[in-house]
A and B are shown apart, each in its own frame.
Chain A
Amino acid sequence: MKFSKLGVVAVLAVVCVYIRAIFFTPFDALQGPAQKILYVHAPSAWVGLYLAFGLVFITSVLYLWLKDPKLDRVASSSAEVGFVFTSVVLMTGPLWAKPIWGAYWTWDARLTLTLFLWFIYAGYIILRGAIDDFEMRARFSAVLGILGALLVPFIHLSVYFFRTMHPMPVLLKPSAPSMPSDMVITLVSAFFALTLLYAWLLHERYLLATERDAALEGRS
């Protein structure tokens, strides 16, 4: 498998960040080594829930306006990659939760709604699989993409409405970040590294979609 320049940079970035996270970042005083899952969990949540779905939303709106099949391919690629990252969030969450909270899962608002966003991704992928006609598939996916993305603010808001065990936001909150600077640097770097990884996977998936659509059109 040949790696594009972006691929090389992305994989290198990921490797470097996690070496730093594991060996060169101090442990959390309260949570110990388990806390390091944060460096996978939080950036994956950023990519899966906000970045990937945000792109699905934008390309869905643009598709309904411009009807360009390229937009549909970007949307579906972003959805598939976002689905993977969201799966990582749902897997790392319980791994972290068990030693810290004592339970793999709670039905608190943020967890529940993230799980259901994962279902929306799954629904998006299954919907596409259930439609053969290119145009209808693109149109319906765009509608679902827009609706699903509108759900995300309701998810983010819910943290402030329901009693929750989930740690309150640490970076994107009104006051200054409340972590030691070492950890902040690792965390922010992890965000960048996973964003690069997402960009590379998105690009590869998009190229695959273009090839596949061209082959199917040629055959019909």
Chain B
Amino acid sequence: MLTAMLITMTDRGPDSAGIAIYGSQTPGKTKLTIQSDNPDEDFSGLDTALTQALGNPVSMSIKSTHAVLSIPSGTTTAVRAALISLSPRIRVMSSGDCLEIYKEVGLPKNVAQRFQVEQMSGSHGIGHTRMATESAVTTMGAHPFNTGDDQCLVHNGSLSNHNSLRRKLRREGMHIETENDTEVGAAYLTWRMQKGATLGEALESSLRDLDGFFTFVVGTKDGFGVVRDPIACKPAVMAETDQYVAFGSEYRALVDLPGIDNARVWEPEPATVYFWSHDTAPTTTEKAA
């Protein structure tokens, strides 16, 4: 379904595509999704090398230019450090117990095919098709962006204060790789949460601190959130049934979802943070929202 939605949205963003998928969780393990432009070279023997470097078993599953490393919980920082010394060309796309992020340049159809998105399964997922306006068409400029363990961000719009905010966040020690505005938005949320804010609080303050146009969708381990800037010229449509909650930039993306004719279809209000969670008991994040 996510693949079909992405392909339908190709004419909104044909240059790159990406998906964040919240898949199964293995107790005691966490996942690191990595990317390389030279996967044959960089991924060859990487699991063995990491196992040796860490003294703990690391397994790897390769999908085209991406690979998912299954590592012992609590070793993410050590693995990141080991990756830098073993193969500095490798880039980390996401970390988390469930989250995997796959993104590349190209038509959404081709990107989905490359990663065999149709065969993936999970509790929820977010797809994005990009039409670049603020920075280069590159893998790292594609969405989703990882904002923290099991958290990701996709963005429609453009931020106008991303240069000054990037400088500020870099001074605060945040790692920002590209000239992309959304990466700054993602780093902003990560930074706020590192300072103790919940995701809901970070999104609330983004309405004040980010200048520009945005409809954000954020993924969390057990659900996802939506927020639009106060002007809300970037579109957003929700569909809700007893079975699912779905988001699209426009209704066309949702038309083939099961039971759509009887779904509650509506637009999120401007400057309002929304969350949907699989858990019935709200987490701190949901309470804050």
Instruction: Tell me whether A and B are bound partners.
Output: no
